[in-house]
Amino acid sequence: MKKAFEKYRLEPDQKVQLNDWDTLETSAWDGGKKDAKLHLLELNTQLEKLQELLYAERKQRILIVLQAMDTGGKDGVIRSVFKGVNPSGVRVASFKVPSALELDHDYLWRIHKQAPAKGEIVIFNRSHYEDVLVVRVHELVSEKVWKKRFDHINAFEKMLHDEGTVILKFFLHISKEEQKIRLQERIDNPEKQWKFSSGDLKERGLWDKYRDAYEDVLEKTSTKSAPWYIVPADRNWYRNLIISTVIIETLESLNMKYPAAEAGIEKVVID
């Protein structure tokens, strides 16, 4: 799983045809699913330690953006990749249909408020990218308005980066066939029925429009300071391995250190 990120990370301005990106491939992993699940447990422990260091050092801010078609597995990533991590230093911000108050502001207002503080990891479950995805597909604003947003978003993320936020963006790439299986599973399994809404079928009918919108997002907003990764996501275990590995390798590259202890601590004896 070494250097997994290089393969899936998009270079700035790289052209993207999502149909050319295999959703099923598992080429960065030599073993099978069982080994992968065991390896993920080791990665969970590594992430737990790195997150503790991040929290203790209180210098870096980490922002992880998750975007996907419906059933793409955002919730699964949050559950599996962050298993065991101390909840004090990790927060999930989920972005739903904006409230009336949010709509009264610019679209980045609610986003910026949720950006990570020093020592914190924040996971965006959906994000400002909805404002060039669902908003575009459903024509909630005019083309003239959403087209300008790619520049705003790049400038906003550059500002966060320049001010010390590390940004990783993952597009969980599933096939339309896999979405069919997952939606059917939601209908058939009484414990998953709560996740299904008939609106999901309407969105599925707009698959090609969403794919085109995603291709634009990926081409226009993968930057050196806030890269996109296209993660093959039909197999949950592989998706989890890639994302976990990328996050760990990124945290390792930050050369974090525990803060210095108080002078003379070695002489202190508790009685």
Q: Residue 28 or 68: which CB sits closer to ligand ADP?
A: 68
Counting contacts by CB under 6 A, is residue 95 touching ligand ADP?
yes
Sign of CA dihedral 43, 48, 49, 53: positive
**Beta partners for residue 9, in sequence order:** 229
Total residues at the site for ligand ADP (CB under 6 A)? 11
Place of tokens 């990533």: 77
Alpha helices in 15-133 (DSSP H): 33-57, 74-81, 100-103, 109-112
Are 43 and 206 spatial neighbours (Cβ–Cβ below 8 Å)? no
Residue closest to 83 by CA, chosen among 54, 111, 115, 42: 42
Counting contacts by CB under 6 A, is residue 101 touching ligand ADP?
no
Residue, CB closest to ligand ADP: 130
| DSSP secondary structure letter of residue 136 | H
Counting contacts by CB under 6 A, is residue 58 touching ligand ADP?
no
Of 20, 34, 97, 104, the one binding ligand ADP by CB under 6 A: 97
> How many Cα atoms occupy the beta-carbon half-sphere of 6 within 13 Å?
4
Counting contacts by CB under 6 A, is residue 98 touching ligand ADP?
yes
Q: Residue 36 or 132: which CB sits closer to ligand ADP?
A: 132
Strand bridging mode 90-94 / 121-125: parallel
Measured CA to CA, the distance from residue 271 to residue 261 in angstroms comes to 20
Q: Residue 29 or 196: which CB sits closer to ligand ADP?
A: 196
From the CB of 185, what's the least distance to ligand ADP, in Å?
15
Counting contacts by CB under 6 A, is residue 96 touching ligand ADP?
yes
Q: Draw the binding track, 170-209, toward ligand ADP (x: CB under 6 A; -: no contact).
A: ----------------------------------------
Are 166 and 54 spatial neighbours (Cβ–Cβ below 8 Å)? no
Counting contacts by CB under 6 A, is residue 156 touching ligand ADP?
no
Counting contacts by CB under 6 A, is residue 69 touching ligand ADP?
no
From the CB of 248, what's the least distance to ligand ADP, in Å?
25
Counting contacts by CB under 6 A, is residue 217 touching ligand ADP?
no
Of 24, 53, 93, 134, the one binding ligand ADP by CB under 6 A: 134
Of 130, 157, 178, 234, the one binding ligand ADP by CB under 6 A: 130
Stretch that binds ligand ADP, among 15-23, 126-134, 145-153, 216-224 (CB under 6 A): 126-134
From the CB of 96, what's the least distance to ligand ADP, in Å?
4
Number of residues that make up the chain: 271
From the CB of 194, what's the least distance to ligand ADP, in Å?
11
Strand bridging mode 165-173 / 228-232: parallel
Are 247 and 81 spatial neighbours (Cβ–Cβ below 8 Å)? yes
Sign of CA dihedral 90, 7, 25, 131: positive
Residues that bind ligand ADP (CB under 6 A): 70, 95-98, 125-126, 130-131, 134-135
